[in-house]
Amino acid sequence: MNYLADKSYLAVKPEATPGTPVIPDNFIPLISESIRVNPNISADRRFKGLTWKSDDVVRGTRLIEGDLVIHADPDSIGHMLNMVYEKGVTTGSAPVGYTHPFTVGEGKHYSIEISRGDFAQRIWGVRGENLKIAFQDNKMIATLSIKALGQFNTASLAVALTGVGMTSAVLKQIYDTRPTDGLVAGDVIRIGAVDITLTSVNADGVTVGFAATDVTASIGDPVFLVAQTPSYSAIVEPLYLGNTLVGVAATSALADTAAATKATATPCYNLAMDFKNNLLDAIASGATGAAALLNQVREASAEISRLFENPTQYQKWIEYVKQAITMITKGTYIKSDNTTWEQLTVKLHKVKLISNEQPLDVGQYLFDKQKFEALYDSVDGKAIEVNLVNRTAGTEY
């Protein structure tokens, strides 16, 4: 059977205990993904009395990484931020909206799931490597680069199942010494043509349990994770460039003021921000891949394109002048009296230009095409802060 990619889904959920898989049940419309498992397989080049390159392959350090691309709506972007930065105390309520503050810190570990036809890939111990937000055709696009501790997609039977009354299955230790890692009670697996709901996942890492089932399968037969039925009952619109105001000023407080109204904001014809954790794949004993994913030095940058009016920005570039940027993107009203918006606010407290180009193109206006480095501001005591107002309770993050 062939499968159309459009029927796939992305589901996410924070892990209560970092690195302990859960069943993801927050479904997010997905634009594309490029997450790949790389077992680093290479030819076995040991001397074996052969004139041929090799007679087998060996595995190296396993890496799981790639990108998720979504429309950044006010609810979904919260999960992306939660994998990258530390969420503070959520305030508010459903009638007026929930406010979630994010600061540079330890983002949560997530379990995510991506379907491929009738089957699913469960990826667990997921952390955000970096998050880029940009606008394409007016819509905010979020690209989250992730790394992960492990995954389950498929395995093989180690012990034959012989018909009526089967209550457990044992998986082969070919891909992993703990092939059941990533599965949890409540998952549905397919063995042969039979879908089986798990009641337990044994601590031995190879055995799963289920209610007495009539199933016949041979050693080596595949075992798959069955895809869920996604639910998108609460989809909201993406955030739009047309509803975004940007303030650029000498201090963060002044940038906030500038971004408050269209009259004082800076019109931007291109806008992108990139937040990086530079995660370390901490390779250690007891794990085929990374034993932990550790934040290293954090960084961020912003890119803006705006109409050239005078050489002021060029002067700020060559003289390393401090500026601050505040971006406020509004969605729709939450409160019934039309006073509370869905809103994403990003503040870069101290930035300096690292490039400021003014290319000349025939028939085109002259633009300042700028790239800013986000710096730590010792006056404000921070580099970045993010606030998100939406309809999702803080317990979901």
Give the DSSP per-residue string, 298-316.
-EEEEEEEEE--STHHHHH
Summarize the confidence of residues 310-334 as an average pLDDT.
90
Q: Would residue 63 be called left, alpha or beta, if left means φ above 0 and alpha means ψ between -120 and 50 degrees?
A: beta
- Asked if the structure places residue 230 within a domain, the reply is no
What's the number of domains the chain is made of?
2
Same domain, 61 and 27: yes
Does residue 189 lie in a domain region? yes
Give residues with Cβ within 8 angstroms of 230, minimum separation 6. Answer: 9, 11, 27, 115
Taking residue 5's Cβ as centre, other Cβ atoms within 10 Å add up to: 11
Write down the pTM of the prediction.
0.92
HSE value, Cβ hemisphere, 13 Å, CA-based, for 79: 28
Of 220, 251, 271, the position where a domain reaches its end is 220
Tell me, yes or no, whether 81 and 216 share the same domain.
Answer: no
Query: Residue 76's CB: how many other CB atoms inside 10 A?
Result: 25
Do 210 and 112 share a structural domain?
A: no
Cβ atoms of residues 343 and 74 within 8 Å: yes
In a domain, 49, yes or no: no
Give residue 5's pLDDT band: very low, low, confident or very high (50, 70, 90): confident
Question: What tokens appear for 132 in the block?
Answer: 């880029």
Separation CA 28–CA 8 (nearest Å)? 11
User: CA–CA separation, 57 vs 165, rounded Å?
Assistant: 39
* 285-312 residue pLDDT tens: 777 878 899 999 999 999 999 988 888 8
243 and 331 both lie in a single domain:
yes
Same domain, 144 and 167: no
Phi and psi for 312 in degrees, rounded to 5?
-55, -50
- Higher per-residue confidence, 252 vs 59: 252
Beta bridge partners of 213: 166
135 and 176 housed in the same domain: no
pLDDT of residue 342: 95
Same domain, 107 and 254: yes
Helix (H, G, I), strand (E, B) or coil at 326: strand
| 256: in domain | yes
Report which residue type is found at 342: E
Q: Which domain holds residue 198?
A: 158-220
Mean pLDDT (whole number) for 213-230: 96
Q: What is the mean pLDDT of the chain?
A: 93
Contact 259, 265 (CB under 8 A): yes
Which H or E run contains 177? none
Residues 265 and 194 in one domain: no
CA distance 364 to 172: 63
Residue 348 sits at φ, ψ, to 5 deg, of -105, 105
163 CB-near residues (< 8 Å, 6+ apart): 214, 215, 216
Domain stop point among 166, 186, 220: 220
User: In the predicted model, is pLDDT for residue 317 greater than 90?
Assistant: no
